[in-house]
Structure 1
Amino acid sequence: MSYLIVLPHIQVENANAISGLTYGFPAITHFLGFTHALSRQIQQSHGLRFTGCGVVSHQHQIQAYQANDRGDHYFAQTRNPLTKEAKTAPFNEEGRMHMTVTLFIECEGSLAHGDAGARDLEKLLQSLCVTQRLAGGTVISMKPVRVRALPQNTDELADVTRREMYRALPGFALIDRSELLVQHFAERQAQDPQTEMIDAWLDFATISYRAIQPEGGTVEWQYQPKPVKGYLVPLMVGFTPISPLYAAGEVARTRDTTSPFRFVEATYGVGEWRSPHRVNDIHQLIWRYPSNPGNYLCSHTIPLQEADLTEQEHSDF
């Protein structure tokens, strides 16, 4: 049986605002990691498994300041204590942000004792969430957790989606639109075979102007629209391996010497911030773990073969 667990209005302080080449919001892997950490604890006590997570952002504030009149902004970082030699401690601090988000967690399994079991699970999750780190930040507060069964009937599921999405207003839901990147790359490559994927991705990430000079007129700078309409943003969606899988303990100075190890690099896609009232099916919102064991790429795709994310599988990344 499937359940929907709603963690409403989680207020987080000092979350990580940098995700590889992008900044402004944590990577989706942070939220799936938070979901997996909860799943490991709930699986032991209730036999349930969390298989995906949807994100709605209500508020965010990047910790940055404007340093000059040109509009350049810099991350506001803390001044760490000096060492015994009165030197700056070798500590690399990353950009931080405050945010308020609602998480929609997809849950598989059988919940005992009906409504009473659901209420007990809500109380347990309420206490667990405030003790977890979310995107490296501290959970300050959150509204009461809700657990409800996901109906199989299409009309009933649409009703549940509509109710939950309107309760998530005001806010913006993060949707995977990486298929637009693939489509745009194919179009650009048809025009120029030497076009690379990074060129197509930058079309979604940059604000571009082109100099237009009418015949006999003055030069005008004309804004170049994004490839597709919508609130589209560059997004880190996972990791791609760049080395073979090494045996446990073969690579020095790893955090876990009992699991295999592999070097990876960040992989990017395109996301869309969409108003929740435009989400017609709750499954359109859920990001899931990767179905391809060779890459750790998160998307809305339902894996063909569901598998537990054991320590062995996570050690590859």
Structure 2
Amino acid sequence: MSYLIVLPHIQVENANAISGLTYGFPAITHFLGFTHALSRNVQRSHGLSFNGCGVVCHKHQVQAHRASERGDYYFSLTRIPLTKEAKTAPFNEEGRMHMTVTLFIECEGSILHGDAGARELEQHLQSLCVTQRLAGGTVTSMKPVRVMTLPQNGDELQNITRREMYRALPGFALVDRSELLAQHVAERRAQDPQVEMIDAWLDFSTITYRAGQQEEGSAQWQYQPKPAKGYLVPLMVGFTPISPLYAAGDVARTRDTTSPFRFVEAAYGVGEWRSPHRVTDIHQLIWRYSVSTEHYICSHAKPLQEADLTEQDHSDF
């Protein structure tokens, strides 16, 4: 049986704001990792498993500053003590942010004792979530957890989706639109076969102007629209391998010496921040791990279809 668990308005301090080549919001792998940590706990205590997670962001504040009004932004870093030689100690730059998010978790299993069991699970998760780290940040507070039955389709599913999405306002839901990246890469390579994937990916985030030649010889700069309309952002969506799969214990100094090991690098896609009241099916919001022999990618359990978009959704940002 399927259930929907809502963790509303989780306030997180000093979460990781850097995700591979992108910054400004944690990667979706952070939220699925948080879900997996909760799942391992409730699997032992309640016999339940969490299969996916949807994210709605209500507030975010990147800890950054700039020296002048037109200058570049810099992360506000923690002061590191000097070394014994009174020199600045080497350290990795950390981008931090505060955020408030609501998580929608898909749960599989059977909750015993009906409503009483559901209320007991809510109390268990309420106390468990504040002891976990989310995207490396500290959970400072959250509103009461809600547990409800999740139908797969029909009017009841639409009613639950509508009610929960309106409760998530104001905020923006993060949905996967990586199919737009694949489409844009194909279009650019049809014009120029030498175009690199990263160039097509950056088209979704860069602001581009192109000079147009005028009759009198002067140039006029014209804004070049993004590859697609909507609040689209570059996104880290998982990992892809860069080495063979080594047997357990073959690679020295690994955290887990009992599991096979493989070196990986970040994989990227395109996401869209969408107003929750435009989500028509809660399954379109749920991210899951899509694990194959070669890749470890996060995607939606039910991909967003073009037919789900309205004319307002296509408004240009």
Q: 2: CA distance between counterparts of 1:168 and 1:108? A: 23
Confirm or deny that 1:157 pairs with 2:126. Answer: no
Alignment size in residue pairs: 303
Aligned to 2:228: 228
Asked if 1:71 is matched to 2:71, the reply is yes
Give the C-alpha shift of residue 70 in structure 1: 3.0
In 2, the alpha carbon distance for the partners of 1:113 and 1:167 equals: 27
Superposition pairs of residues 1-317 of structure 1, within 5 angstroms:
1-216=1-216, 218-301=218-301
Question: Residue by residue, what CA displacement relative to the aligned partner does 1:132-173 show, whole Å, maximum 9, x if unpaired?
Answer: 000000001000000000124411100100000000000000
How far did 1:86 drift?
3.2
Cα drift, residue 259 of structure 1:
1.9
Task: Tell me, yes or no, if the aligned pair for 2:233 and 2:272 is still in contact at 8 Å.
Answer: yes
Q: Determine the C-alpha separation between the residues in 1 that align with 2:278 and 2:153.
A: 20
Rounded to whole Å, the distance in 2 between the matches of 1:221 and 1:71 is 23
Quick one: distance in 1 between partners of 2:87 and 2:253?
26
Equivalent pair of 1:176/1:299 in contact (CA under 8 Å):
yes
Kindly indicate whether the alpha-carbon contact (under 8 Å) linking 1:66 and 1:73 is maintained by their aligned counterparts in 2. yes
CA distance in 2, matches of 1:73, 1:179: 31
Residues 302 and 273 from structure 1, CA distance in 2 versus in 1: closer, same or farther, beyond 3 angstroms?
closer
Aligned partners of 1:3 and 1:83: how far apart in 2? Answer: 53
* CA shift for structure 1 position 202: 1.1
Q: Specify whether residues 24 and 260 from structure 1 end up closer, same or farther in structure 2 by C-alpha distance, changes over 3 A only.
A: same
Change (3 A) 1:73 1:153: closer
State how far apart, in whole Å, the 2-side matches of 1:138 and 1:153 are.
Answer: 36
TM-score by length of 1: 0.92
Q: Corresponding residue for 1:315?
A: none
Query: Are the equivalent residues in 2 in contact too, given 1:291–1:302 (CA < 8 A)?
Result: no
Partner SS for 1:290: strand
Q: CA deviation at 1:217?
A: 6.0
**Kept in 2: contact 1:54–1:285 (CA 8 A):** yes
Moved more, 210-219 or 142-151: 210-219
Please say which of residues 125-134 and 255-264 is displaced more in the overlay.
255-264
Partner of 2:194: helix, strand, or coil? coil
Q: Secondary structure at the match of 2:228?
A: coil
Q: Where does the alignment leave 5 or more consecutive residues of structure 1 unmatched?
A: 304-317
**TM-fit CA distance, 1:56:** 0.2
Distance 1:69 1:46 in 2: 54
Give the drift of 1:302.
6.3
Identity %: 82
